[in-house]
Amino acid sequence: MADFGKDSTASDPRTQYLKDYQPPAYLVEDITLRIELDPAATRVTSRLTIKRNPAAQAPDQPLQLDGQELELTALRVDGIALTENEYQVEEGKLVLEDLPDDVTLEIETVIHPDRNTALEGLYVSGDMFCTQCEAEGFRRITFFPDRPDVMARYTTTLVADKNRYPVLLSNGNPVEQGEMDDGRHWVSWQDPFPKPSYLFALVAGDLFCREDSFQTCSGRQVTLKIFVEHENRHKCAHALDSLKQAMKWDEETYGREYDLDIFMLVAVNDFNMGAMENKGLNIFNASCVLATPETATDADYYNIQSIIGHEYFHNWSGNRVTCRDWFQLSLKEGFTVFRDQEFSADLNSRPVKRIADVNLLRSHQFAQDASPMAHPVRPDSYIEISNFYTVTVYNKGAEVVRMIRNLIGSDGFRKGCDLYFQRHDGQAVTTDDFVAAMEDATDIDLSQFKRWYSQAGTPLVSAAGHYDAQTECYQLTLSQQCPPTPGQELKAPFHIPVEVALLDTTGRALALKLEGENATSGTHRMLELRENSQQFNFVGVKTSPVASLLRGFSAPVKLDMARSDEELAFLFANDPDPFNRWDAGQRLASQTLLQLVRQVQHGDTLTLEDRFIHAFQATLEHSTLDAALITQALTLPSESYLADQSDSVDVDAIHTARVFVHQQLADHLFDSFLDIYHRHNDDESYRFDAASMAKRSLKNLCLGYLMETIRGEARNVCFTQLEKSHNMTDTLAALSSLAQHDWSETDDYLQRFYQQWQHDPQVIDKWFAIQAGSRLPDTLQRVKTLLNHPAFRFTNPNKVRALIGRFCMANQVRFHAADGEGYRFLTDQVLALDKINPQMAARLVSTLSRWRRFDANRQDLMQTELKRILSAPEISKDTFEIVSKSLD
Ligand code: PHE
Ligand code: ZN
């Protein structure tokens, strides 16, 4: 695309390739840091003991240290100061030639945390200092080989004003402290475990600390501490509970014990992501750790529990065994997401968790796989690694680990994990090493399976069943194909575990015998699809069965099987696998909705079949189903999922069809919704457990449907809930359904909510998000006005996500308005944000990368905006990568 004035990304000189990996020329054994904290000018002194790497490719490679935005003030080799012509600093690297094989290097740099709005490296958040070093932030603190295969032992001394920064934290154990004459004090920390620089962290501030403890399986006492700003002191309990649950779970499930005597959590308001697993000092976005029933929803509680688990689990899957290079990111992230998903499933409801995870994968990861940003779980090139913290690396990566477990069984998987941790403790390794441990522990060949790491795209599995009454044989044909993705025209067949059961007319799963097996056994099979097409013959099948396929979503594929609405309704009512039961309902709803989309497009009168309403009614009124499963079953596929299912996305028709089905169900089932609402609306005080959450979720689902009608009764239910609610779950559910209507009460209640919560930034984020998520036609106008609200802060990622992110990424119908106003708005924000925080800008702009999925008019509008970004002077490489690949 020469007319954009930039080269295509393939030839971009900044592209990094997996195939170019080389071991480092030097290793760092120890690093001693002294950091004199001052917001305007922080002085960093670093002392490195360095050794030539015996595994280096050439014996005379120079030492290369990474550094970015550093002022170098001194450099000494074995105690002798170097003059400026004895080293080179170029393109973010400090290069030293002809060093001895063993050498001590001392480096002094000055940095400016108060100017750091990118939130990478050392920065200021409110009155505290904090760091973020993954992936390449340590090079903004000092010159260092900032790559994960260089693992060193850290000793860190922090020096700061004692009044302003009474708390000084870093990794490992505190070993010494003292005071100075000038009002400053210092604390030294020592981390006995060698680690890559991305796991370094420090925190300083005037923080409240809540303490707890945990006894490990071997009887060691670990001190747990959570540090928060004083106004949040009442919000720590859930995080500490979750942490103890996670520590226990990892011992019981993986036999993994915590290794230091102290484990610390910190909450900060300004943070690009959810949280970070720094050794012994996990740092959290305040929104992912702080909670009280009054300020946090069930979804927040759930999320906090899983993120606390996630970061804690990294201590083994990521820290003790780390990544050789950033192409291996899924080694730690995919595996750790898998671990946190199982943790949540074990502690709450397994089927509810599985459905939620699959929903996320289908609506976001499948969409990424179908976009110009599609990439393998182990990417083979990148321009900016920050752009690869994606749903593909994280969530598809977790599915890849889950498939391994599906193929080698739970016991085999545990053996494989044990071998992996034992073999690689203290090492920086690759996804191939992970798979090799699984193979070696079980003697199962996973070589074909490894294509899941290297090939991008969502495979399409087609299934066809044929029953022969004469031979009592059910023949199942499975075939696969995978669409092309950037740089990968043709794919080799994947090794796909497909779990199958055969149901009789009452929904009972039949005992199975596959041709060639010598006996009938069990009621399900994990079929292994390895060829382009394969046949599986079930014998001794007495009556024509209904096949229940891909149970529990045993592989991250799209399943195509022609099913009538009747068959789907049957599975929706009867499949014993809760996941497939839900999935049948979703398929039924999608088929129905897409049919309605066509009706909208043809200008027909919309009609909803009674059969559909009855199927949903039966589920709603089911007497024994878990309330949370009912909620999930009655939640219609999202507009973005429906978009993904369409050949060319018609956002307005999709929106109209979905609102129509909501209103039809609400009208027809009004009495049921109202009755169930009241039955689940008790005055119980808030508890975080699966049963209470299930009750609230069903109640609020009913409220949502009721509010689709404009009956006075529904409004009253909503207003009463807003007046009486004593937890944020109920308040927010009512307020969000109210925000879909332009009634005078809407603004009154929004105003009151603001008045009540203006002191609490996490709650105010919700207030912004509710308004940005409204389907009302003037939402963009409102969002623009809110940008100037005193509570909005452009430098705070949570605010940007709540207002701009919510509008552009989760309000499909308003963002994609046909006049292009949403696109222009996004572009203006991205260009402004790119100068402040490139990571955030790149995340926001990625929503434009799917432009080819829309109609010609929108394609033009979106392309115009992408080109506008590309032609702006000096865009970051983060944003450049997303935009240029989107246009390629
Ligand atoms: N590694 C963090 C996690 O657990 C995510 C993260 C990446 C945080 C980059 C900050 C920066 O998943
Ligand atoms: Zn992680």
Under 8 Å between Cβ of 321 and 429 = yes
Which ligand is nearest the CA of 331, by number? 2
In angstroms, the CA 645 to CA 641 distance is: 6
Checking if the pLDDT of 469 tops 60, the result is yes
Checking if the pLDDT of 480 tops 80, the result is yes
Catalytic residues: 311
Residue 489: how many other CB atoms lie within 10 Å: 8
Q: Is the CB of 315 under 6 A from ligand 1?
A: no
Q: Please give the number of the atom of ligand 1 that sits closest to the Cα of 333.
A: 12
DSSP string, 629-649: HHHHHHSPPPHHHHHHHSSSB
How confident is the model over 742-753, as pLDDT tens digits? 999 999 999 999
Under 8 Å between Cβ of 326 and 385 = yes
Which pLDDT belongs to residue 11? 59
Report how far ligand 1's centroid is from the alpha carbon of 534 (Å).
40
* Residue 350 phi, psi (nearest 5): -60, -50
Q: Is the CB of 340 under 6 A from ligand 1?
A: no
The predicted model gives 493-501 an average pLDDT of 99
How confident is the model over 426-451, as pLDDT tens digits? 999 999 999 999 999 999 999 999 99
Look at the chain and count its residues: 888
Which pLDDT belongs to residue 684? 85
Q: Is the CB of 134 under 6 A from ligand 1?
A: yes
Which pLDDT belongs to residue 5? 38
Q: Whose CA is nearest to atom 2 of ligand 1?
A: 276
Q: Whose CA is nearest to atom 9 of ligand 1?
A: 134
802 CA to centre of own chain: 16
Report how far ligand 1's centroid is from the alpha carbon of 400 (Å).
20
In angstroms, the CA 387 to CA 861 distance is: 24
Residues 6+ apart with CB under 8 A from 791: 754, 758, 761, 764, 768, 799
Checking if the pLDDT of 669 tops 60, the result is yes
Checking if the pLDDT of 6 tops 80, the result is no
Percent of the chain with pLDDT over 70: 99
Under 8 Å between Cβ of 8 and 883 = no
Report how far ligand 1's centroid is from the alpha carbon of 312 (Å).
12
Considering only CA atoms, which of 125, 144, 122, 5 is closest in space to residue 64?
Answer: 144
The identity of residue 458, as a single letter, is: T
In angstroms, the CA 477 to CA 471 distance is: 17
DSSP string, 493-516: PP-EEEEEEEE-TTSPBPP--BTT
Which pLDDT belongs to residue 683? 80
Give me 327's structure tokens.
């192409």
Which ligand is nearest the CA of 273, by number? 1
Checking if the pLDDT of 1 tops 90, the result is no
Checking if the pLDDT of 354 tops 90, the result is yes
How confident is the model over 401-432, as pLDDT tens digits? 999 999 999 999 999 999 999 999 999 999 99
Considering only CA atoms, which of 698, 708, 662 is closest in space to residue 678?
Answer: 698
Q: Is the CB of 384 under 6 A from ligand 1?
A: no
What is the pTM (predicted TM-score) of this model? Answer: 0.98
More confident residue, 148 or 6: 148
DSSP string, 274-289: SEE--TTEEEEEGGGT
Percent of the chain with pLDDT over 90: 97
Give me 99's structure tokens.
């060093």
Considering only CA atoms, which of 248, 433, 415 is closest in space to residue 322?
Answer: 433
The predicted model gives 526-546 an average pLDDT of 98
Which pLDDT belongs to residue 848? 98
Q: Is the CB of 373 under 6 A from ligand 1?
A: no
Report how far ligand 2's centroid is from the alpha carbon of 799 (Å).
22
Confidence band of 649 (pLDDT split at 50, 70, 90): very high
Which pLDDT belongs to residue 576? 97
Under 8 Å between Cβ of 375 and 390 = yes
Q: Is the CB of 332 under 6 A from ligand 1?
A: no
DSSP string, 131-153: EE-TTTTGGGTS-B--STT--EE
Confidence band of 59 (pLDDT split at 50, 70, 90): confident
Average pLDDT, the chain: 97
Q: Whose CA is nearest to atom 1 of ligand 1?
A: 276
Checking if the pLDDT of 155 tops 60, the result is yes
* Top mutation candidate among 123, 125, 134 for ligand 1, by most atoms within 8 Å of CB: 134
Confidence band of 13 (pLDDT split at 50, 70, 90): confident
C-alpha distance from residue 747 to each of 175, 296, 322, 857 (Å): 55, 22, 51, 34
Under 8 Å between Cβ of 705 and 662 = yes
Considering only CA atoms, which of 328, 301, 557 is closest in space to residue 430?
Answer: 328
Which range, of 4-8, 481-485, 691-695, averages the lowest pLDDT? 4-8
Q: Is the CB of 730 under 6 A from ligand 1?
A: no
Q: Is the CB of 319 under 6 A from ligand 1?
A: no
Q: Is the CB of 311 under 6 A from ligand 1?
A: yes
Checking if the pLDDT of 639 tops 70, the result is yes
Q: Whose CA is nearest to atom 3 of ligand 1?
A: 276
Q: Please give the number of the atom of ligand 1 that sits closest to the Cα of 271.
A: 10
How confident is the model over 840-853, as pLDDT tens digits? 999 999 999 999 99
DSSP string, 430-455: -HHHHHHHHHHHHT---TTTTHHHH-
Q: Please give the number of the atom of ligand 1 that sits closest to the Cα of 394.
A: 12
The predicted model gives 337-358 an average pLDDT of 98
How confident is the model over 67-79, as pLDDT tens digits? 999 999 999 999 9
Helix (H) or strand (E) holding 652: helix 651-668
Which ligand is nearest the CA of 398, by number? 2
In angstroms, the CA 140 to CA 159 distance is: 18
